[in-house]
Structures are given as structure tokens and as C-alpha cells.
């Protein structure tokens, strides 16, 4: 069973189609939701939460239908919205405890978890302060703490690094990676920042104009390009290329002494230097190339999902 | 388990029943309301008339005390439906003041900081949210309306000669129904208006305005068109009529204000329906802009 299953999902808001027949299954531990503004990322999240009702098709979270089983879904998720959303008049710990109790934790357990969650996200020292006095970064973290406090199975984060300075952003990314490492909580992160998704997620869903432009397993992508190497050399490359082929590499040479190789797993980079030395070639630089998330995203943006084109990797 | 534990896991322990989540909203609503000193002050103020009435019932039923107070003359106070109508009216109008202060505290804080997306992402429906807030208000307003009224009624039944209770059961019934209908009306008005006005102090003013401005408009209609139907916009007049009929008290208003019970019930139901529509439009996790 996938974390999220979309089956011809259509959502109309104010009479306009916003999500248009999304179909796919997401199984990753950390799923990134990418797309330009207005692509339908937040609408998809709100549909999963049961805030919007699909006009056709279905969306399922852990096999539960977002239309008919929204209460059960909400019991299993923690949600961190994009915009400010808190009760400024409450202290941090009281707010997080309140939300944990609403999620179903008994009062004493909720209080214990509230303290834990606040320490976990780094707000332990300010947990008795009113939320209205928090900085922007702290307000982002309190939203994360309340989403975590009841120990959800899926954490939905809408633009978690929005408005954070570089230090705070790095801390947020670190925290999310820590959560991912535990393995018991899945993440769904919506962002327009490729770098954030690249650093945290192992699967990505790219939306464009309310349709799926790409579904990609970034982890697999990374693994498949592990041995794709570009080399800058000086000297005669023809015999060097032959030697590399003899070692089992696929090799293509370009002008300016540039070579592109796909190395088998059995070969170590050191052997390239040995072969280069034997054929009088100097290696001036080696670049391990990987198909970055940016490449995937740009390819997806070139597609026209309305005509059924999309990238599946 | 230490709060410094640096890992987080899905919670697999016992969870509370779903219906009890409304109780969480009620509990936090009550805590929010009572955290204000003004609430405590208004509550104390609302209990003062009940204390005075308690003394009055004591004096009316104690011959020795009555003799000392009236010094031989006849004691002017009779404990009957008219007395309880006065008690109920006083408590209900003080409840309106308390409601105007408390209702905005329950809703405006959530709306001011856009807390609804987070609150409603939990297993709580919009209806459950409003019900939780309503029950918080109901509990607070009960403490200053039907609870003291019924306690005074019980004390009167205890201290008066045998047979008073059986002859005046309607008063007890009227006190409960009259208070509950008033609480339902003012609580719905308070919640609905607070959901539309973000600023608490303004919301407090708007709650009073919603009760008294239509009364002025109704007065103008009555004056210009020379019709009694203008009083249907006059909440004080309407509710006095309702309480009077429920308690079986003699008429205290002029004849021209005598409105049909059905018309009053329809207007009160329409007011509550408008409040529900206002809450339905406002208490949402997200606002969809139609374009």
C-alpha cells in the first residue's frame, strides 16, 4: 500500500479546475511536492486533508479515502500549513498540548509529548513564552512542533522553509532529516525550492497546471548515475579511451580533452589514474555527474501534461 | 521519558474517544474565558442581584426577620411569578454583558492568528468546533442565569409554607426554558459576530449593537407605521413577553406590545438561523475565492 494514492483526482475551486485527473502512487519515506506557483500543490494537500472535496476520482492516504474517511486520515497526519497559523495568546507548550489533545492524546500524555516536541524542534527554552512574541523562524517551528506532538504517521509540510533565514532554514532541513531518519513517520513536503526537496526527499511529484508533470524516485535516480563521470585531460586521448574500454568502461571523447565515462561498479577511480599514466595522459579534473533534481524539474516543465506527456523515472 | 529525547516516533498508545475532542474544545474555551480578570469581575457582578434576591426571599419567609425589617408595618415583598420574572430578567441581561465579553475571547483569538487550518486539520469537524465553543459559553452563561434562578426557586420552595411548590411549578419550568432560550440566542449571536470581527473589543461592541440597534429600528417602524410588528425587532420587549408567558406572570408591558407567541418564536428562530449561516461561512479551514 502506498502512502498516497491518486486515482483520476479532479478538484474544482470557484468553478475552475485546479487539479485535473491526477493518477499515481507515492511510496517514499519523504515525498517532495514540486511545481510552479498555481500548479496545485497546496490544493492537493488540502484535498488529502479533506478540506476540499474531489469532484471526480479519489485521493487516498494509507488506503483511506479523503472524502469518506477524512477523520481517520486526520488522526494519522500532522499538518504544518504554509501561512501563519497558531493561537498567539497561548504559550508554546499550551498550544502544542491543545493540538495534541485534539488529535486524541490523553491530557497527561499530550503535555509530555508537547514538551518533547518543543525540545525536539529547538523551542525548549521559549516554550512558556506567548507565541505572539516568537520570531518568524520560531513560528515556523511551533507549527512543526504541533504537527509532530501527537506522533503522526504522515507529516504534511507546506513550504516549511518559507521566510526563514539561511541558518534557520538549515536547522529546519536538519530537523526534517532527523525525522526522516526515524523511519516511523513519512513526510510529504510541498516546496518551490528544489534544494529543500533535494536535501530531504527520496521521491518527488512534480505538478504543472494541475496535472502530474513527473513522478520520480530521486534515490534510484541518484544510484543509477553514481558512476557517470566526466574527465578533463591533456594529451592524446584516443589510446587512453581504448584502454578504458578494455577495463570495461563506456567511453566517449569530446573536443578539448573531455571524456565522458560510465564506469562499472568493479572499477575504482584509482585505476583511471593508472591507465592515464600508462598512456601519457594527465587527468586535470574528474566530475561525478548526477542527474540533479533540477534536471528532472526542468525536463518536467518542458513537458505538456495536458497532452499526456510526463516524466516517469 | 526525558523531554530532551532527540528522536520522534509515531504514537501508538491509547487515544481518547472521538466525541471527547469536543470536550477538549470546551475545556480550553473555559480556561481561556476565565483567564481574564474582567470575566471574573463580570461574573461577580452578575451574582450580586442573585444574592440580594436570596436575602429578599429569606426576609419574605422569616416572620421574625420580616418584623424587624418592617417594624410592624406590612411587608411589601411577595415571592411570586412577578418576583421571579424580575430575577430572571436581571440575570439574563447581566448574562448578555458577560456573553459580549467572553464570546469574542473564544473565537477571535483563533481567527486573528488564522488558527483554523491547524485546528481543523485535527479530527474535529467544523460543527464540532462550533459546538465546543457554544458549550463553553453555555456553561458560563448557565452559571449566571438558570442555575442561580433555580437555586433561588428551590430556596423559596424550601422556606415557604407547604403547597407553594406544587402551585408554582410553572415558575421553575419557566426559569429553565426562559434561560435556555436566552442563552441559545445570545451565545449564537456572540459566536457568529465574533467570527466576523477579528478585534475583540469591537466584537464586544457589535454584540451589544446587534441586540439594541434593531430595537431602535423597530421603534422607528412602530412609530412611523403605527404598527405593533416593529416590536418584533425589539429583543428586550420580545424576551420580556416570552419570559412573562413562560412564568405565568401578569403583563407588565403595554397592550400594543402584545405579540403572538408564534411570531416571536419565528423571529428568534430566524435570528439563530442567520447566526448559523454566518458561522458556516466563516468557520472554515480555508477560504475559497470564487472567480
Tens of pLDDT, residues B48-57 = 999 999 999 9
Question: Are residues A105 and B15, on separate chains, in Cβ contact within 8 Å?
Answer: yes
Sheet holding A77-80, edge to edge: A77-80, A154-158, A186-190, A30-34, A203-208, A211-217, A311-312
Minimum-distance CB partner of B6 among A89, A106, A120:
A120
CA distances A105 to A75, A291, B13, B213, Å, are 10, 44, 8, 45
Containing structural domain, residue A242: 227-288
Residues A213 and A73 in one domain: yes
> What is the phi/psi pair of residue A285, to 5°?
-170, 145
Report d(CA A248, CA A270) in Å as an integer: 15
pLDDT (0 to 100) of residue A216: 82
Question: What percent of chain A is helix, strand and coil (3-state, nearest 5)?
Answer: 40, 30, 30
A183–chain B Cβ distance below 8 A for any pair: no
Contact at CB, B122 and A99, closer than 8 angstroms: yes
**Residues 6 or more apart in contact with residue B151 via CB below 8 angstroms:** B50
CATH number at residue A44: 3.40.50.300
Angle, helix B63-70 to helix B37-61, in steps of 10 degrees? 100
CB within 8 Å of B102: residues ≥ 6 apart:
B33, B39, B137, B140, B190
Q: Closest Cα of chain A to B106: distance in Å?
A: 11
Q: Say what the pLDDT of residue A292 is.
A: 63
pLDDT score, position A265: 74
What is the per-residue pLDDT for B1?
Answer: 45
Please give the share of chain B, as a percent, with pLDDT higher than 90.
67
Contacts of A89 in chain B (CB under 8 A): 32, 109
Residues of B with a Cβ under 8 Å from any A Cβ are 1, 3-16, 18, 21, 24-25, 28, 32, 109-110, 112-125, 285-286, 288-291
Q: Both A246 and A158 in a single domain?
A: no
Cβ atoms of A86 and B113 within 8 Å: the answer is yes
Number of domains in chain A: 2
**Domain of B142, in residue numbers:** 18-282
CA angle (B205 as vertex; B200, B207 as ends), nearest 5: 95
A21 secondary structure, DSSP code: E
The answer to whether A33 and A207 have CB atoms below 8 angstroms apart is: yes
Give the closest residue to B282 by CA, choosing from B166, B141, B129.
Answer: B129
How many whole angstroms separate alpha carbon A123 and alpha carbon A125?
Answer: 6
Q: For residues A192 and A51, state if they share a domain.
A: yes
Residue with cell 525536539: A120
pTM confidence score:
0.84
A43 & A170 share domain: yes
H or E element at residue B240:
helix B235-247
Number of structural domains in chain B: 1
Task: Flag whether B35 is in a domain.
Answer: yes
Same domain, A76 and A208: yes
pLDDT score for B34: 96
> Any idea which of A150-164, B20-34, B54-68 has the lowest mean pLDDT?
B54-68
Average pLDDT over residues B236-241: 90
The CA-based diameter of chain B, rounded to the nearest angstrom, is 82
- Per-residue pLDDT 10s for chain A (313 aa) are 789 999 999 999 888 899 998 999 998 899 999 988 888 999 999 999 999 999 999 999 999 999 999 999 999 999 999 888 999 999 999 999 999 999 999 999 999 999 999 998 889 999 999 999 999 889 999 999 999 999 999 999 999 988 788 888 888 898 899 888 888 899 999 988 888 888 889 899 999 889 998 888 877 766 655 567 888 998 888 888 888 888 888 888 888 888 888 787 778 888 889 989 888 899 988 887 655 677 677 767 766 666 666 555 4
Does residue B162 have a pLDDT over 80? yes
Query: Quick one: pLDDT at residue A261?
Result: 83
Amino acid at each position: 500500500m502506498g502512502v498516497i494514492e491518486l486515482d483520476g483526482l479532479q478538484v474544482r475551486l470557484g468553478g475552475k479546475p485546479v487539479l485535473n485527473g491526477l493518477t499515481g502512487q507515492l511510496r517514499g519515506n519523504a515525498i517532495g511536492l514540486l511545481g510552479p506557483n498555481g500548479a496545485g500543490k497546496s490544493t492537493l494537500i488540502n484535498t488529502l486533508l479533506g478540506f476540499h472535496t474531489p469532484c471526480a476520482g479519489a485521493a487516498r492516504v494509507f488506503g483511506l479515502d479523503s472524502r469518506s474517511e477524512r477523520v481517520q486520515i486526520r488522526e494519522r497526519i500532522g499538518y504544518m500549513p504554509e501561512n501563519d497559523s497558531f493561537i498567539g495568546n497561548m504559550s508554546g507548550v499550551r498550544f502544542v498540548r491543545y493540538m495534541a489533545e485534539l488529535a486524541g492524546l490523553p491530557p497527561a500524555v499530550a503535555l509530555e509529548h508537547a514538551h518533547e516536541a518543543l525540545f525536539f524542534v529547538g523551542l525548549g527554552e521559549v516554550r512558556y513564552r506567548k507565541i505572539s512574541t516568537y520570531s518568524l523562524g520560531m513560528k515556523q517551528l511551533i507549527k512543526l512542533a504541533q504537527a509532530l506532538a501527537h506522533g503522526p504517521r504522515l507529516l504534511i509540510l507546506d513550504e516549511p522553509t518559507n521566510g526563514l533565514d539561511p541558518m534557520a532554514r538549515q536547522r529546519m532541513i536538519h530537523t526534517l532529516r532527523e525525522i526522516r531518519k526515524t523511519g516511523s513517520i513519512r513526510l510529504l513536503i510541498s516546496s518551490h525550492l528544489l534544494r529543500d526537496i533535494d536535501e530531504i526527499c527520496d521521491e518527488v511529484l512534480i505538478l504543472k497546471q494541475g496535472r502530474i508533470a513527473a513522478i520520480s524516485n530521486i534515490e534510484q535516480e541518484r544510484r543509477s548515475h553514481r558512476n557517470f563521470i566526466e574527465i578533463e585531460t591533456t594529451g592524446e586521448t584516443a589510446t587512453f579511451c581504448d584502454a578504458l574500454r578494455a577495463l570495461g568502461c563506456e567511453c566517449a571523447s569530446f573536443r578539448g580533452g573531455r571524456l565522458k565515462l560510465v564506469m562499472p561498479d568493479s572499477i575504482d577511480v584509482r585505476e583511471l589514474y593508472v591507465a592515464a599514466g600508462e598512456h601519457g595522459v594527465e587527468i586535470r579534473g574528474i566530475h561525478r555527474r548526477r542527474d540533479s533534481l533540477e534536471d528532472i524539474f526542468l525536463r518536467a516543465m518542458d513537458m505538456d501534461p495536458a497532452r499526456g506527456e510526463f516524466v516517469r523515472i | 521519558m526525558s523531554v530532551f529525547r532527540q528522536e520522534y516516533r509515531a504514537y501508538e498508545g491509547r487515544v481518547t474517544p472521538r466525541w471527547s475532542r469536543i470536550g477538549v474544545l470546551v475545556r480550553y474555551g473555559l480556561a481561556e474565558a476565565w483567564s481574564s480578570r474582567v470575566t471574573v469581575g463580570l461574573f461577580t457582578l452578575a451574582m450580586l442581584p442573585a444574592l440580594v434576591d436570596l436575602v429578599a426571599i429569606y426576609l419574605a419567609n422569616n416572620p421574625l426577620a420580616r418584623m424587624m425589617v418592617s417594624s410592624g408595618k406590612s411587608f411589601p415583598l411577595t415571592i411570586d411569578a412577578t418576583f421571579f420574572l424580575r430575577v430572571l430578567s436581571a440575570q439574563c441581561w447581566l448574562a448578555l454583558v458577560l456573553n459580549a465579553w467572553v464570546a469574542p475571547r473564544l473565537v477571535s483569538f483563533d481567527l486573528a492568528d488564522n488558527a483554523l487550518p491547524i485546528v481543523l486539520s485535527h479530527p474535529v469537524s467544523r460543527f464540532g468546533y462550533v459546538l465546543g465553543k457554544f458549550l463553553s459559553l453555555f456553561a458560563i452563561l448557565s452559571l449566571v442565569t438558570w442555575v442561580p434562578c433555580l437555586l433561588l426557586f428551590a430556596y423559596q420552595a424550601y422556606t415557604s409554607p407547604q403547597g407553594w411548590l406544587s402551585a408554582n411549578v410553572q415558575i421553575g419550568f419557566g426559569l429553565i426554558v426562559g434561560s435556555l432560550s436566552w442563552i441559545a440566542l445570545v451565545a449564537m449571536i456572540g459566536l457568529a459576530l465574533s467570527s466576523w470581527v477579528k478585534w475583540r473589543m469591537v466584537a464586544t461592541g457589535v454584540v451589544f449593537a446587534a441586540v439594541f440597534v434593531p430595537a431602535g429600528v423597530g421603534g422607528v417602524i412602530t412609530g412611523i407605521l403605527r404598527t405593533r410588528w416593529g416590536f418584533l425587532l425589539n429583543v428586550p420587549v420580545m424576551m420580556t413577553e416570552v419570559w412573562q408567558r413562560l412564568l405565568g406572570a401578569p403583563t407588565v408591558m403595554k397592550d400594543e406590545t402584545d405579540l403572538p407567541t408564534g411570531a416571536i418564536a419565528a423571529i428568534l428562530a430566524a435570528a439563530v438561523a442567520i447566526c448559523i449561516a454566518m458561522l458556516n461561512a466563516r468557520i472554515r479551514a480555508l477560504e475559497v475565492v470564487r472567480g
